[in-house]
Amino acid sequence: MAEKLKTPLDCRRYPILERTVGREGDRPLVYLDSAATSLVSEQVAGACTSFLHTSCANIHRGAHILAEEATDAYEGARERLARFFGVEDADRFVFTHGATESLNLAALGWADRWLRPGDVVAVAEDNHHANIVPWQMLAERRGVRVEWIPVNSAGLLDYDAWCRIAEARPRLVALCQQSNVLGAPQPDGLRIAREAQGLGATVALDGAQAAGHGPVAVDRLPCDFYSCSAHKMGGLTGIGALMLSERAAAEMNPVFGGGGMISRVQRAGYEPAPMPAALEAGTPPIAAAVAWAAAVDELEEAGLAAIAAHTSRLAERARHGLAALPGVTVLGNGMPGSFSSLASFTVKGMHPHDVSQALDDAGVMVRAGHHCAQPLHQALDARASVRASFAGYSTEEDVDALVDALSLALEDVR
């Protein structure tokens, strides 16, 4: 028998994986919902706890030692994360509460300032709602025209449709680096982004599902806004980032007003602080930033290339195993290339929530629903789907448990 695949991230660092769950409470926990929120290791939790127990204070304006330590920890985390993501100037790395806030920040701070009624905003149909709704709201506020870059029944972006949109010279193009439903990069995705920038358009790229699954060099990507969330890559919930190109950083307006984002306030008005403080009003998630820096340390220690290869093998194993079951359709199987970290599927005659409940009874945790991607599901002729997603701590046994549990559930239904 072939040797079982080792995990790049040590499963022993994740105490939650020792839990037993299931209908009778005696099944080993099989966590296959990392695309929604990845597990947090002892190392990451320890970094957060250490900060809270030793240097817990607010940042920047305090003169006491705890405030100085907190400021150093927070700004050190920014510099560490900027290096991890390949952002040369850490001042272009803005902390937010997650990818959703990041993309809304781009819409409110840049697009509201520069776009005019009638301007075209091109939106890819495989986007998460976080890279759709802010532009639809912008259309309501500013009268811009949203044009869709559709996907076909296999999930591939329609490049010819993009070429027709390009003739209208869009001002902004919204794309995702990797779909949270299909689990693979679009073959024409970066090509469209490069061509959009060549037309003078600003590109907003949602990297939430790609970050942490392989190396990312944001400054070398054809984008002006890059968004991600820490909790998709081993960090805590409630923190993310918006990374900006030099041009976008120079053209941003502050969105939130208050403490921390100003240089001066008088009765006559205010003067915003330089970047990135201008976009970080109020008290930031300081401890979460420290934890996120620890998470990327752990990812780099494991090796991003090793994690990418590992989760890709698991995704392929899951897709093949699931597709072999009667009545199961795996979404995106017509896409070329490899799948990086997940498998979404439907079961004929079963609602995705019922499938998820049957798997939960067997101790297998998956996600069921439209995954905040309703337009994509509609294009794929699927009301919703079940999604199994993998991380560096996932194992071959996890995949086999998924396929076996679903096979038994199908037998029960029959």
pLDDT digits (tens, 9 = 90+) for 329-338: 999 987 877 7
Percent of the chain with pLDDT over 90: 92
**Sign of CA pseudo-dihedral 108, 109, 111, 117:** positive
- 346/320 Cα distance (integer angstroms): 14
Contacts of residue 118, defined as CB under 8 A and 6 or more positions apart, other chains included, come to: 143, 144, 145
Cα of 365 vs its chain's centroid, Å: 19
Least confident of 6-10, 29-33, 161-165: 6-10
Give me the helix-helix angle, 189-198 and 159-166, nearest 10°. Answer: 10
Q: Is 149 helix (H, G, I), strand (E, B) or coil?
A: strand
**What residue type is 193 in one-letter code?**
A
Query: Left (φ > 0), alpha (ψ -120 to 50) or beta: where does 76 sit?
Result: alpha
* pLDDT score recorded for residue 5: 52
Contacts of residue 107, defined as CB under 8 A and 6 or more positions apart, other chains included, come to: 134, 135, 137, 138
Residue 89's nearest CA partner among 98, 79, 104 is 79
Query: Could you count the other beta carbons within 10 Å of the beta carbon of residue 246?
Result: 12
Q: Where are the beta strands (DSSP E) in 273-389?
A: 328-330, 342-347, 364-365, 367-369, 385-389
- 366/349 Cα distance (integer angstroms): 19
Only one residue has tokens 């620890």, namely: 294
Is residue 157 within 8 A of residue 401, CB to CB? The reply is no
Per residue in 172-225, pLDDT (tens digit) is 999 999 999 999 999 999 999 999 999 999 999 999 999 998 899 999 999 999
Averaged pLDDT score across all residues of the chain: 95
Q: How many CA atoms lie within 13 A of 48 on its CB side?
A: 17
Q: Is 264 helix (H, G, I), strand (E, B) or coil?
A: strand
The catalytic residue among 56, 223, 228, 372 is 372
* pLDDT score recorded for residue 337: 72
Our answer to whether residue 56 is catalytic in this structure is no
Strand partners, 269: 266
DSSP, residue by residue, 307-320: HHHHHHHHHHHHHH
Per residue in 368-382, pLDDT (tens digit) is 999 999 999 999 999
Per residue in 255-274, pLDDT (tens digit) is 999 999 999 999 999 999 99
